[in-house]
Amino acid sequence: MTYDRLLNTAAAWMLALFWLLPLAYAVWTAFHPAAYETRFDLLAPLTLQNFAQAWSEAPFARYFLNTMILVTGIVAAQFTLCTFAAFAFARFTFPGKSIMFALVLMQLLIMPDILIVENYRTMSQLGLIDTIAAIGLPYVASAFGIFLLRQTFMTVPKELDDAARVEGCSYLGILWRVYIPLAKPTFLAYGLVSVSHHWNNFVWPLIVTNSVETRPLTVGLSIFAVTDSGIQWSIINAATLMTSGPLLIAFLLFQRQFVQSFMRAGIK
């Protein structure tokens, strides 16, 4: 029994260290001079020079701004659209409901990520190529969000709903005062997944953007890493850490809430 336990603990730790290795390595090179890229010396001098250099060599400030605008825009739009749609599915009976729901679920399988050719055509017809809106629009009506919120809304006790109706609450009032407050953990979990998904998204932004004013961090980083290819891992890794930094720090700070909100949201 204890032998079994020991073996499991050892395996769990080995895997964890292996899983952290890429990040640990990036941190090592980013904070040390280039000479220590492959030499691991505990007394190696620390430096922030790599970050300074990466920051000055590409318009990362602008990329950050673009990503921030993109992610806030998408999450705000998703919350609004998906909440109304989910409420309609959870609370009302209306003709065509099941067909509509099937149409929504289809997007779980056929995601905007694979419809790049046609969505590019649509964007150019709308004159939106190379805008931040174009990066976000295909994702604002999210089937995952609608499904998740509908599941949560369906668990709201009918009695609460009825009580609010008796008090003279309108449908919008019920949604705002009863359903949304009860679904807070789901909103948090969904919001976090959505933020990390769109912060990290790459292929579609690469396709629809072609200027500094619109490019998000991921695309900016890929261009930076290519122009710099062959030289100085330490600078590329500093840039890599910068782009993932805010998300990583946010995750480390809110780790517990993150995992718990997932569990409470009943995503299983």
Partner 1 sequence: MDTARRQWIYAWLMLSPAMAFLILFTHYPAVQTILNSFYSTPRGRREAVWIGLDNYQTLMLDDVFWKVLANNFWYAVWTIPLSIILSLAMALWVNDKIRGRGFLRMAYFTPTVLPLIAVANIWLFFYTPGFGLIDQIRGLFGLPEQNWMGSPDTALYAMIAVAIWKEAGFFMIFYLAALQTVSPSLKEAADIEGASRWYYFRRVLFPLLMPTTLFVSINAVINSFRLVDHIFVMTEGGPNNASSLLLFYIYEVAFDYWDTAYAATLTVVMIAILILLAIGQFFLFDRKVHYK
List of residues 6+ apart from 233 with CB closer than 8 A: 29, 34, 37
CB nearer partner 1, residue 69 or residue 112:
112
Kind and range of the H or E run holding 134: helix 132-136
Q: Minimum Å distance from CB 70 to partner 1?
A: 13
> Locate tokens 């959505």: which residue?
194
> Locate tokens 């509908």: which residue?
150
Q: Minimum Å distance from CB 47 to partner 1?
A: 19
CB nearer partner 1, residue 56 or residue 93:
93
CB nearer partner 1, residue 9 or residue 72:
9
Q: Minimum Å distance from CB 45 to partner 1?
A: 21
List of residues 6+ apart from 119 with CB closer than 8 A: 112, 138, 204
CB nearer partner 1, residue 160 or residue 171:
171
Q: Minimum Å distance from CB 57 to partner 1?
A: 15
C-alpha dihedral, 146 to 147 to 148 to 150, nearest 10°: 80
Residue-level length of the chain: 268
